Amino acid sequence: MAIHEKSLIDAERIQTSDNLVLDGVDVSGHWNTMVLPRYLTDYDTDFARQIRTFSGGENVHRCWQCGSCTNSCTVYAQNTDFNPRYWIYLTNLGLKNEILKDKDIIWTCVSCNRCTNICPKDVKPEGVMKALAHWLEEEGHTPESKSTIFDNEFLDQVYATGRIEDTRVLVNFLRKTNQSLMPPWLIEIGKRMTKYFPLTFLIHMGLHLVFKPRTKSWGRTGDVLRAYVHEQKEIARKARAMPKEAVHV
């Protein structure tokens, strides 16, 4: 055991191999553990621009690190690892790997917007949290989020019929996310609703489930909307992929 205080080192920086030859010298066995240096060796100078192309991330470069966002943050109060100020700094310098370490908590932003209301530089930190979550998803660092699945189900219904059917959105969402179709909270809602015996509502709901009504004269509107949303997303995606020289300030 060459390293005694492994607890002081980030796990991902410790490298162990059973057989190791360095410069022709066999160092297997006792010297099999190596630690990668902890210093940061570069910035991704295009990263902040890429985040600015996501909706909500437009003002990220304005941040001067006062910390008002983190200080006012609802989630930070519960989990001090949730630090918007820090992620904004990492974004601006392009320290992508550091952001990736927190990829599993960035999405937990509850969009209370206290940060956006308090920010003296109008960075809109809540928007940056969304932009980062979308970037993580687009790059495949995080799986498709439940909220994205929900949004897609919602939009697909709008495209198809010009309206949404609450029950269908909910059922399809639960199904697509492999959740029970009868979660306890839904049963509870049902129970409480029966108190009022909403007969007309239940009849409507049942009919709509069967007949899937469309908005009057919806026609090709859904297709046009779908094409437009697709086009906008493509424009943003292309802007992100553009070489730095072509898009610089």
Contact set with other proteins (CB under 8 A): 38-43, 45, 48-49, 61-62, 64-65, 86, 89-90, 92-93, 95, 98, 121, 244-245, 248-249
Q: Is there a contact between 64 and 88 (Cβ–Cβ < 8 Å)?
A: no
* Cβ distance to other proteins smaller for residue 98 or 156: 98
Enter the tokens of residue 115.
Answer: 């940060």
What minimum distance in Å lies between the beta carbon of 31 and other proteins? 24
Q: Give least dist CB 20 to other proteins, A.
A: 25
Q: Which two tokens stand for residue 163?
A: 């309206």
Half-sphere exposure of residue 10: CA atoms within 13 angstroms, side-chain side = 8
Nearer to other proteins, 61 or 168 (CB): 61
**Beta carbon nearer to other proteins, 40 or 110:** 40
Please identify, using beta-carbon distances, which residue of 41 and 200 lies nearer to other proteins: 41
CA-wise closest residue to 220 among 162, 155, 156, 153? 162
242/223 Cα distance (integer angstroms): 28
Please state whether 102 falls in left (phi above 0), alpha (psi between -120 and 50) or beta: alpha
The Cα–Cα gap between 109 and 80 comes to: 13
Write down the least CB distance from residue 37 to other proteins, Å.
8
Closest CA to 169 of 137, 146, 197: 146
Q: How far is the CB of 154 from other proteins (least distance, A)?
A: 35
Nearer Cβ to other proteins, position 81 or 144?
81
Least gap, CB of 61 to other proteins (angstroms): 6
What is the closest distance, in whole angstroms, from the C-beta atom of residue 177 to other proteins in the complex? Answer: 35
CB 82 to other proteins: min, Å: 16
* 192: CB partners within 8 A, 6+ apart: none
Residue nearer to other proteins on the CB measure, 39 or 196 = 39
CB under 8 Å to 213, separation ≥6 — which residues? 161, 163
Q: Select 125 or 222, whichever has its Cβ closest to other proteins.
A: 125
Instruction: State phi, psi for 41 to the nearest 5 degrees.
Output: -110, -10
